[in-house]
Structure 1
Amino acid sequence: MPRGKKNILNYLIIVLWILAIPAIAYISSLDYKISVAVFAGVVGLVVAVISLLNYRAGYYILITVSLSVHALERMSGAELPVGIFLDGLLLTILMGIIFDKKVRTKSNIDYLRDPLLLILYLYTCYLLIQCFNPNMFSMQGWVVYIRVFIRNLIFLFITMRMINSWQDVHAFFKFWLTISTLAALYGCLQQIVGLLPFEQAYINRYPDKFITVMIQGRPRIFSFMADPAAFGVLMACGAIIGMVLLTAGREVISMQKKCLLLFMTGVHLLALGFSGTRTAYVMLPMGLMLFFLVNLHNRNTIIAACISVMGMLALLFGPFYGNATVVRIRSAFVGTKDESLNLRDVNRHSVQPYIYAHPIGGGIMTTGNDGTLFNPGHPLAGFQTDSGYLHTVLELGWIGLIIICLYMYIGLQYAVSNYFKNDDPLNKLLLIGIASVMFAIIVAQYAQEAAGLVETSLFLNALLAISVKIKYNLNNSKQ
C-alpha cells in the first residue's frame, strides 16, 4: 500500500475511535443490559482482531477465557452464552492459522497413518453413527455433544500446529503453571476470607449448579473455575508437574526458579486440599507413582518419593481429627467406611444388565441430568454415573468404551515413549510429567468424569497434541 494511502487509513481509524467513544458512552447510558452487550461486543471484536493477526496470542486467550469465564458469569449474576463465545474465538484462531503467511513449518505428522489419530477418526465416525441410535429419544442432546466434541477436536489440531519447537513447549507449560497458580491463589483466598458476595449471590440464584459445594459444614473451593471438581482435578495436575520439575538438578533448574516452583507447588497442594475433590486427592499419588517408578535411578527422585510417602502417612494416620480438609482427604483413601462411595458401587452393579443388553449404549446425553433434560423418560435419565468409564459404556456401549480405552492407552504410550527417546534433562522431566498427568486422569476416570470436564479436556487435549508433535518433529531436536 502506498505510504499516502496508509497514512490516510491510519487517520481514518483514529477518527473512528474518537467518534466511537462518545457513541458507546451514550448507548450504554440508555440501559444496563445494552451497556453490557456493547462492552462484550467491543471486547469480543478486539479479541477477534488479535486472534486473526496473532493466532498464538489468540490461543492463550482462549485458554484463559475457558478457565476463567465462569467468574465473569458470577460477577454478572446471570448465565452467559459461554459456548458461543468459545466457538467463535476458536474459529477465529483457526482462520488466523489458515491465513498466516509468516511461518510455514513443515510437519512430519502422518495424519493418515498415525495410530492415535486413526483411533480419533474412528471415534469421530462412531459418534456420527450414534445419531441413528434407536435407544435415543431426541437428537438435541447429540447435537450439543457433537458441538463440544468438534470444539475439542479443533483445539487438538490447533495445538499441534502451534507447537513447532521446544521453546513452544516450554512456553505452554510456563503459561499453564502461571494461570493454574493464579487459580490456586484465588482458591486459597476464598478459603481464608470466604466466598465473595457476588459468588454467594450467584450460588443462591442457581443452587442446582452447586449442590455438592457444601460438604461437612464448609464450602468446597472452586476458585474462578466452573466447580470444585474441575478446580481440584486441575490443581492435582499442576501439583504433579510442579513436583516432577522440583526433582531436577541445579544445572537444569536454578535454585531461584526452584524456590518459585516450590511456592507454586505448595499453593497447588493447599488449593487441592481446599477443593474437597476426593478423586483429585487420589490423582496425586497415582501420577507421582508412575514418575517414581520410571526415575528410581535418580537420587532426587528417591528423596522426593520418601518425602511424599511420609507426608501421605502423616495425613492419613496423624493426630489430626478436627480439620475438615484432612477428614475429607482421609475419606478418599478409606472408601470402605464412606457410605457415598459404597452407594456408587451398588449403582454400578444395578446397571450391568443394561450394559450387556446394549452394545452401542443408550445414546448420547441419556444419563444423569443431561438425560432428564434432553431424553426425558429414558431408562437412564437421571442415573448419576459418577464415573467416566461408566458414563461412556452406558451412553456409547462397550464398543465405545473399547475405542476410548484404546485412545487413552496410545496417548499414554506416546508420552512414555517420548520420555525414553529424548536426552535433554529438562525436556525429559516435562515428558514424564505429561505421562504422569495422563495416567492420573486415566485413573480418575474410574471415580469421576474427570476427562469430560471442560477445563480438564482442554489440558488433556493439549498434552495429547504435544505428545504427537514431539513424536514426529521434536524428539531429536533441542531447539
Structure 2
Amino acid sequence: MQLTKRNIKQAFLVLLWILLVPVITYLASTDVKAGMGLSIVFVGGAIALVCIVNYRLGYYLYIGITFILPMLERMSGTELSKGVAMDGLLLATLLGCIFKRGDKSIGKVKFASDPILICMYLYLLMLLAEIFNPSSYSVLGWYVFMRVALRAYILLYIGLNVFNSMKDVHTFFKFWLALGTAAAFYCCIQKWFGLLPYEQSFMARYPEKFGTTMILSGIRLFSFMSDAAVLGIILACNIIIMLVLLTASMRTINLPRKVALLVSVLLHVLALGYTGTRTGYVMLPLGLMIFFLANLHKRNTILAAMAFCFFSLAILYGPFYGNPTIVRVRTAFIGKQDESVNVRDRNRHRIQPYMHTHPFGGGVNTTGGNGETYQPGHPLAGFQSDNGYLRQVLEIGWLGLILVAGIFFFLVQTAVINFFKATTELDKLLMIGLASASFAAAVSQYAQDTFTLVETAIMLFAFIGVAIKVRYINV
C-alpha cells in the first residue's frame, strides 16, 4: 500500500509538470514577463527543494547558479531580481543544513578562539553598529549592505559543514576550477566570435551597467559573470592555484591530468587578457611569490619560476606591438601611468581630510553609485573609491579597515599553517595554492572592492571555509 501511494504521488507530480507546459507556453505568448516569472518560480522551487534535501549539493548549486545569473539576466533582456533568487537558494540550503544538523566535524572548530572568526565577529558587530552612525541617514542602504554581508556569513557556515574531509576539499577545488574553466572558455568564445546578439542587445538597453566595459583598446569581456573585473580577479586566483598544482610529481598528478590543467591554464590566461583587468595581471607574480618562497628547495618549483619569468619577460619586452591585449598588460607593469591611474591617485589625496575627521566612517553604502542611490546628497555619494580598503575606511572607519586586513592576514596565515601540517603532496600544494591565491586577492583589494563584490566574495568566503575547516580536520 505504501508503494502504491508513492507511485500515485509520482504520477501526480509528472502529470502536474505536463499540464504546466502548455500553461507556461500560453502565458509566455501573451505576456513574456509572466511566463518567464512562472517558469522561474517552478524551476527555482524544484532547485530549492533539492537544496533542502541535500545541503552539500545545494552549496555547489548556489555557487554555480549565482555565477550564471548575470547571463540569465542578459538572456531575458530585462533586469531581474537576482538577489531574491540568491537569498532563496541560500536559505533553502541553510534549512537543509539545519534539518540534517550539519556534520559532527564542525564541533572541532574553535568558534570562540579562531582568529579569522574573531575578526569576522567584530566586523559584523561593526556593520550592525553602523545603523547608529550619525553621518548616515539611510536605513535602506544599511539594510541592503547587511543583506549582502549576511549571505557571505551563511555561506561560510554552510561551507564549514560541507568540508568534512580532505576528499571534500578536493571535490571543491575540482568544482571551482571547472567553473573557472567554463567561464574562461566562454570569454574566449566572446573574443573569437564576438558577443552574442542577446548580449549586444542587453548592453544597448542598459549602457549604464557597462560603463567600465568599453575602453580604448576594445571591449573588456565578462563571460557569463557580472563584470570584467570580477572575472579577471577570479581567473588570476585560479591560474595561481593551477600553476602550483602543475609542480606536483607524476605520482600525485598524472600526465593526462597535467595536460588538462595546462589547457585550462591556457584558457584562463587568454581570458584574463581579454578581460583587460590590470589588477589580475599584477596579482599573478605577487601571489606566486608566496608559493616560490615556501618551496625554493624543490626542483620543480625552480623550473616553474624560471618558466613563469621567461613567459612574463616575453610578454613585457617581446616584439609584440599591435596586440591591444598585450599593450594593456604592459601598462600594468611598465611605461607611463595612464590618466585613469592618475585620477585615482588624485581622488585618494582629495578624500583624506574626510577620513581624518570621520573615524567611524560615513556609513555603509555611501560611496560611489550606491551612495547616489541610497544616500543622495551625502558627502561621499558619487565618490569612486576604486579601492576596497579605501571604501572600508570611508564607510566604516579605521577599525573596519583593520578588521578586513586582519581577515586577509589570518586567512593566508592559516593556509600556510595547513601547508606545513599537510601529510600528502596534493594537500600541501592545495594549501599553499590557497595561501597564494588569498594573498593575491588581498592585493587586488587595493584596486578593486574584492571583499564585497558578489562573485569574488563567494570565492573568498569559500576559501575561508576551506582554510578554517582543514585546520581542524586532522586534529
Provide closer, same or farther for how the CA distance between residues 359 and 167 of structure 1 changes in structure 2, counting only shifts above 3 A: same
How far the C-alpha of 1:37 sits from its partner, in A, is 1.3
Task: Show CA shifts across 1:65-112 (max 9, x none).
Answer: 111110111111111000011001000001111112796555301112
Residue matched to 2:167:
167
- Corresponding position of 1:267: 267
- Report the equivalent of 2:124: 124
Give the whole-Å Cα distance in 1 for the aligned partners of 2:102 and 2:361: 47
1:152-196 Cα shifts (integer Å, max 9, x gaps): 110011011111111110111101111110110110111111111
Matches within 5 A, 1:243-322: 243-322=243-322
8 Å CA contact retained: 1:71, 1:224:
yes
Task: Please tell me the residue identity of whatever aligns with 1:321.
Answer: Y
Asked whether the 8 Å contact 2:106–2:160 carries over to 1, the reply is no
On the 8 A contact 2:103/2:162 being kept in 1, the answer is: no
Q: What does the per-residue CA deviation read over 1:358-409, in whole Å, with 9 as the maximum and x for residues that have no partner? A: 1101111111111111111111111110101111111111121112111221
The match for 1:421 is 421
Tell me the percent identity. Answer: 49
Question: Is 1:399 aligned to 2:399, yes or no?
Answer: yes
Task: Provide the C-alpha distance between the structure 1 equivalents of 2:226 and 2:78, rounded to a whole number of angstroms.
Answer: 14
Which whole-Å CA distance do the structure 2 matches of 1:448 and 1:336 have between them? 21
Partner of 1:433: 433
1:220 counterpart = 2:220: yes
**Distance change (3 Å), C-alpha of 1:432 and 1:32:** same
* Match runs of 1:9-408 below 5 Å: 9-100=9-100, 104-105=104-105, 107-334=107-334, 336-408=336-408
Q: Could you tell me how far apart the structure 2 residues matched to 1:168 and 1:228 are?
A: 30
Q: 1:393 to 1:262 in 2, by over 3 A?
A: same
Q: Secondary structure at the match of 1:333?
A: coil
CA distance in 2, matches of 1:335, 1:126: 41
SS in 1 for 2:332: helix
* Shift in alpha-carbon separation, 1:261–1:5, aligned structure 2, 3 A: same
CA deviations on 1:120-159 (whole Å, 9 max, x unpaired) are 1111111100000001131111110000000111001101
Give the Cα–Cα distance (whole angstroms) in 2 for the partners of residues 354 and 11 of structure 1: 66
What SS class does the counterpart of residue 384 from structure 2 fall into?
Answer: coil
Unaligned runs of 5+ in 2: none
In the alignment, the residues of structure 2 paired with residue 422 and residue 263 of structure 1 have an alpha-carbon distance, to the nearest angstrom, of 28
Aligned pair count reads 475
The 1:20/1:345 distance shift into structure 2, 3 A limit, reads: closer
CA distance in 2, matches of 1:40, 1:4: 31
Measure, in 2, the Cα distance between the counterparts of 1:103 and 1:461: 19
Equivalent residues of 2:105, 2:473 under 8 A apart: no
SS at match of 1:293: helix
SS state at 1:95 partner? helix
Structure 1: stretches of 5+ with no match in the other structure:
none
Give distance in 1, aligned partners of 2:329 and 2:15.
60
Task: Classify the secondary structure of the residue corresponding to 2:107.
Answer: coil
Q: What's the Cα RMSD here?
A: 1.6
Distance 1:20 1:211, change over 3 A: closer
Deviation at 1:21, TM superposition (A): 3.9
CA distance in structure 2 between the partners assigned to 1:101 and 1:157 by the alignment: 12
CA distance in 2, matches of 1:107, 1:459: 24
In 2, the alpha carbon distance for the partners of 1:59 and 1:197 equals 32
Q: Does the 8 Å CA contact 1:335/1:342 hold for their aligned counterparts? A: no
Local SS of the residue matching 1:107: helix
Q: Decide whether the 8 Å contact of 2:102 with 2:161 is kept in 1.
A: no
- Structure 2 partner of 1:445: 445
Letter in 2 for 1:35: G
- For the residue of structure 1 that corresponds to 2:404, the secondary structure is helix
CA distance in structure 2 between the partners assigned to 1:267 and 1:24 by the alignment: 39
Shift of 1:352: 1.1
| Amino acid aligned to 2:338 | D
Cα deviations by residue, 1:307-362 (Å, 9 ceiling, x for unpaired):
11111111111121111011100111137432221221121111111111111011
| CA spacing shift, 1:147–1:186, aligned 2, 3 Å | same
Kindly provide the amino acid, as one letter, of the partner of residue 418 in structure 2: N
Deviations 1:172-228 (A, max 9, x none): 110111111011011011111111111111111111111111122411111111011
TM-score after normalising by structure 1: 0.96
SS in 2 for 1:112: coil
Q: Which amino acid aligns with 1:235?
A: L
Question: d(CA) in 2 for partners of 1:11 and 1:386?
Answer: 56
The letter of the residue matching 2:61 is I
Change (3 A) 1:394 1:255: same
Tell me, in whole angstroms, the C-alpha distance in 2 between the residues paired with 1:106 and 1:348. 43
Q: Distance in 2 between matches of 1:192 and 1:182?
A: 15
C-alpha distance 129-436 of structure 1, shift in aligned 2 (>3 A): same
Deviations 1:403-442 (A, max 9, x none): 2111221111111111111121000000001000100011
